[in-house]
Amino acid sequence: MHDLFHLFLGALCGGSIGLVLGLVGGGGSILALPMMIYIIGVGNPHIAIGTSALSVSANSAMALIHHARAKTVNWSCGLIFAASGMAGALVGAKAGMAVDGQKLLLLFAVIMIVVGVSMLRNRRQDGVVDPKCDRRNAPSVLGIGTATGAMSGFFGIGGGFLIVPGLMRATRMRAIDAVGTSLLAVTAFGVTTAASYALSGLVDWSLAGAFILGGSAGATLGTRLSHRFSRSGSLLNVFAGLIFTVAAYIIFRSL
């Protein structure tokens, strides 16, 4: 049980998570996981993972609503990606609970850096407006969705920092559409992962509630900023910068 001060901190942290989700379509757990461990002081990494998964799935659902209103969600591709990833997330969550929590955090940071470099290398590519998911690219969407879901479950994250580049690679959609569409998969992956951890008693419900409450306001602001950065062509730079910053911090604390 947390006192009012820590719940207030949780609401502030949740606000920043909602902001990031609305801005870059994911990456909420990039912040949620270290915040719960290093700011709130959750001692068990697996409880931090389960609680962050629940918080991020709820906050991403709020951000999804805002992006849907702005018509930057590709529902057909998003549903295929999410459905294939949910099975992978369930398997990944079981595997992640069997691995030492500190080792998970360090591996998490290394993969973040690899993805960030990949996004910067491809940031000059123009995306396709309203791409279709049909029999030509369905195998790629299904395969990348399953792999992304497995990694999301393994690390206890919504997986947005993997889903956005995954969607862009599988469908060649624009960055802003990948951001909006990724929230559908982030929500699905997060619910699947959170359910697995909750059944094992690894969710702090009061802390999750504080994160979700703060995230509702952050998601609104983040969505507005996302469209502003998209128009200026700097959205992927913002996303990669966030990844590198938090990865460096996790590596520093882990070592």
Residue with tokens 């990844």: 243
Contact 215, 55 (CB under 8 A): yes
In total, how many domains does the chain have?
Answer: 1
Contact 230, 176 (CB under 8 A): yes
Residue 111 has what pLDDT? Answer: 79
Regions of the chain where pLDDT drops below 50: none
Q: Among 87, 14, 91, which residue's Cα sits nearest to residue 54?
A: 14
Identify the DSSP state of 127: P
Q: Which domain holds residue 72?
A: 4-254
Residue 45 has what pLDDT? Answer: 85
Q: Among 57, 50, 108, which residue's Cα sits nearest to residue 249?
A: 108
